[in-house]
Amino acid sequence: MRVLTGLTIPALLAAPAARAELLYANPDAMLIRHEYRVAASAAKTWESLLHPERWWPAEHTWSGRREALSLAGEAGGCFCERWDGGGAVHGRVVMAQPGKLLRLEAALGPLQEMAVTGVLSVHLAEQEGTTTVTVNYRVSGDPMHRLDGFAAIVDPVVGLQFSELAAEAARP
């Protein structure tokens, strides 16, 4: 377990239990995994997941406003951001199993411009009133992009983003 950067001390104390691993990082690929145990049902966690405007950090949007985000939790659905004078598709839903799995093709942030392939999978598993949220982010591309160098930057950002989801889902 490690501390996620960007969280305040009160947020760390209230944050759900987390585990993070950089499973591999090569010039042409990386795989990041973050896991959270959330004191909420899978249904509530799913509902929170589908509302990134409530939990995605504003500093990780193009508009600077998380309220500009939306996520349609069905196959073909868009993880989109819209603002006056612009918009972005952050990802497309390629698999949706409500309360269990949401998978997006998503080259997030600066990876979008690199023409790499990113797959973000969010697995939910409920047991005895808590939900384990496992986030896998797999990115592949041309070795000239040196994704192994990006992994150390992307890993804590994914951790920050999804620790915010876990905190949102745990709110009463």
Q: pLDDT tens digits, residue range 64-92?
A: 999 999 999 999 999 999 999 999 999 99
What type of residue sits at position 103?
Answer: R
Instruction: Look up the pTM and report it.
Output: 0.88
Angle between helices 147-170 and 42-49 (to 10 degrees): 120
CATH superfamily placement of domain 9-47+91-170: START domain (3.30.530.20)
pLDDT at residue number 91: 98
Q: Assign 10 a pLDDT band (cuts: 50, 70, 90).
A: very low
pLDDT at residue number 7: 36
pLDDT at residue number 151: 95
pLDDT at residue number 31: 98
Domain extent listing, the chain: 9-47+91-170
Give the residue among 23, 14, 63 at the shortest CA–CA distance from 163.
Answer: 14
What type of residue sits at position 14?
Answer: A
Q: pLDDT tens digits, residue range 115-167?
A: 999 999 999 999 998 999 999 999 999 999 999 999 999 999 999 999 999 99
HSE-up of residue 120 (Cα within 13 Å, Cβ side): 22
Give the full edge-to-edge strand order of the sheet including 101-105.
17-26, 29-38, 130-140, 117-127, 101-105, 86-97, 78-83, 69-71
Q: pLDDT tens digits, residue range 26-74?
A: 999 999 999 999 999 999 999 999 999 999 999 999 999 999 999 999 9
